[in-house]
Every structure is written in structure tokens, then in C-alpha cells.
């Protein structure tokens, strides 16, 4: 049997998204025969632009979608591992995928569209407008159906909030004044998308992570707002004016803010005031950089 034939065959759902594309590339780089489930409308686009990079990388393109059960079942029957990377707003659309995995009976591991923050640990579930309940419902379904799984939690992706130095409404870090939410010393975690994908693919054939949770807490990526601002001030050789927003004021701002700003402020409150990324201890056996020290991360 060839080495490729011996490797797990991987299906990525949501492959045209940024995280999904990274997962396809990481899976291929690790030597896994990799399949990308692509919604039918993409095939009708001129030159099928979103499909070309995936096919050129070596992925097998399958036509199907989460709302077409038979296409899901046909795709799932071809693989050993399913990874889903749909956005949280579509999390409940994983239900037919779970049904297909159960019916196919050949999937050795399902990695659902968790990523982000561990919703079993967040302390803001009464103010998140149902954001985390969708993921919680999917998690309950996976476990009630005895689907072999791994949950991956990376907290914030680097493309979210970090480019503006956690300043909602800005596209780049400020150069004159900066807002500090809360005391500024609570730490959040940012992980680059390609790194999330590499760590995720590492779990595919690792028995240590089967039916377990993997947290990504790279030591070089855990920073408080005060530390981030200090790094930026050093880089631009300038001291910025600090505007401090108390927890009480932030909660008022959240109440009055329109969407999507409201959700940005809620996630800032969760990470940098309540400490939802870092307030709880984790075992080294469930942390990605400890389990896979050879993975180089940004």
C-alpha cells in the first residue's frame, strides 16, 4: 500500500472560505488525499475562479452543499475525516452533515466548525445574542450521536481586531490616541489562520486528540491590550494618548451600539475584560503547541 493510500482521506466543507482554503492546503501539505465540497453556484461563475486554486493545489473538487443531503452523503462516503469550516452564523447547517456522517458509518473523526472561543467557558452567554448557543447545540448533537470528534479552539483569528490594535471601526492601528478597554491587563489570544489549519490537520491521525478538545495558546500570541499598545508605540517610536473605558462604560456602549459594532464590543468585553480566552487552566496534553512542538507558528 502506498503512503498516500495509507493516509486518511479528508473532506473539507466550507473550502472556499479563508479558513477552509487554509485547511485544504494544510491537509494536502501533510500528504492527505483531500476533497473540497463546493456549492453548485460556484461552478457557474466565469472561469470557476474560487475552484482553480483548490484544484491547482491538488484537491479533488466535489459538487454539493449542506442543504443537499444526498450530495453530502455521497461526499462523506468517500473519506475518513470530515472538517467543517462554515461561519458560526451557519453552524446549525451542520445538522444534515452530522446525519450523513452517522449514516455513512465510515468517518473516523469529525472536526466541526468550532474554532474561535470555547463556548463552554465563556462568561457572556446571556449577552451574545445566541452566537454561542448554535455551536453548543451542534456539540450536543455530535456527542448524542456518538460521532468521533475533535474540537479546536483558537480564540481570535489574527485578521479579527488585531489589525486595528483592537480598535473597532479602524482598519489600521491608531497613531495618535488609543482606547483601552477595562484595566488593559487581561490577556487575549490571536492565531493566524494558516497556523490554525496546520494544528488542526495534526490532530487527524493522533489518537491523543480523539474525542478531545485542542486549545491553541501559542506563548508568543498571548497579549493584553496594554502590551499590544506598548509594542506598537515601540514600533512607531511614539507615545499614544490613552482613553480608558471602564467595564461599566463598555457595558453601556454595548447596550447602545448598533450591529455589527455591538458584537465586536461583546467579543472585546469577553476576551479583554472577562478573560474568556485565558481565565481557565488547561492541561499541556490539550494545548496545540505542546502536543505539536515542530509546528512553526506566526
User: What are the residue numbers of the active site?
Assistant: 135
Which CA distances in Å does 214 have to 7, 58, 157, 284? 21, 27, 15, 10
Residue 107: burial class (beta carbons within 10 Å; 0-12, 13-18, 19+): buried
> Is residue 211 reached through a cis peptide bond, with omega within 30 degrees of 0 on the bond before it?
no
How far the first Cα of the chain sits from its last, in Å, is 36
25 CB contacts (<8 Å, ≥6 apart)?
Answer: 57, 194, 197
- Which of 228, 160, 229, 218 is CA-nearest to residue 189? 218
Amino acid at each position: 500500500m502506498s503512503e498516500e493510500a495509507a493516509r486518511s482521506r479528508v473532506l473539507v466543507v466550507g473550502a472556499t472560505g479563508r479558513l477552509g482554503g487554509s485547511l485544504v492546503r494544510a491537509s494536502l501539505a501533510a500528504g492527505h488525499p483531500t476533497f473540497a465540497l463546493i456549492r453548485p453556484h460556484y461552478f457557474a461563475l466565469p472561469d470557476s475562479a474560487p475552484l482553480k486554486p483548490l484544484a491547482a493545489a491538488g484537491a479533488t473538487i466535489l459538487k454539493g452543499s449542506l442543504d443537499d443531503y444526498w450530495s453530502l452523503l455521497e461526499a462523506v462516503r468517500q473519506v475518513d475525516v470530515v472538517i467543517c469550516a462554515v461561519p458560526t452564523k451557519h453552524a446549525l447547517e451542520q445538522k444534515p452533515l452530522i446525519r450523513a456522517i452517522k449514516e455513512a458509518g465510515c468517518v473516523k473523526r469529525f472536526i466541526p466548525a468550532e474554532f474561535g472561543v470555547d463556548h463552554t467557558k465563556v462568561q457572556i452567554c446571556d449577552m451574545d445574542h445566541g452566537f454561542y448557543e448554535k455551536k453548543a447545540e451542534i456539540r450536543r448533537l455530535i456527542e448524542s450521536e456518538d460521532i468521533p470528534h475533535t474540537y479546536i479552539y483558537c480564540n481570535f483569528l489574527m485578521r479579527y481586531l488585531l489589525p486595528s490594535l483592537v480598535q473597532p471601526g479602524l482598519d489600521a492601528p491608531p497613531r495618535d490616541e488609543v482606547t483601552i478597554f477595562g484595566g488593559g491587563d487581561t490577556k487575549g489570544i490571536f492565531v493566524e489562520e494558516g497556523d490554525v489549519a496546520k494544528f488542526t490537520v495534526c490532530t487527524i491521525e493522533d489518537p491523543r486528540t480523539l474525542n478531545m478538545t485542542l486549545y491553541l495558546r501559542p506563548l508568543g500570541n498571548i497579549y493584553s491590550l496594554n502590551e499590544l499598545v506598548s509594542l506598537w508605540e515601540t514600533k512607531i517610536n511614539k507615545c499614544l494618548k490613552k482613553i480608558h473605558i471602564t467595564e461599566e462604560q463598555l457595558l453601556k456602549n454595548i447596550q447602545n451600539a448598533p450591529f455589527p459594532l455591538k458584537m465586536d464590543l461583546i467579543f472585546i468585553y469577553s476576551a479583554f475584560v472577562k478573560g474568556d480566552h485565558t481565565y481557565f487552566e488547561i492541561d499541556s496534553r490539550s494545548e496545540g503547541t505542546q502536543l505539536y512542538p515542530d509546528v512553526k507558528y506566526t
